[in-house]
Amino acid sequence: MRIYISGPMSNRPDYNYPLFNKIAQELRSRHHEVCNPAELDQEEPGMLTWEEYLRRDIKVMLDYDVIVLLPEWETSRGARFEVNVGDVLQMYIFELDVETFDFKPTKYGNQNLTAVPV
**Cα–Cα distance for residue pair 76/23, rounded to 1 Å:** 18
Listed by start position, the domains of the chain span 2-107
The answer, yes or no, to whether residue 10 has pLDDT greater than 80, is: yes
Residue bearing the bigger pLDDT, 94 or 113: 94
Average pLDDT, integer, range 4-25: 95
Distance from the Cα of residue 36 to its chain's centroid:
7
The answer, yes or no, to whether residue 101 has pLDDT greater than 80, is: yes
The answer, yes or no, to whether residue 45 has pLDDT greater than 90, is: no
Question: If one looks up domain 2-107 in CATH, what number appears?
Answer: 3.40.50.450
Average pLDDT, integer, range 34-62: 90
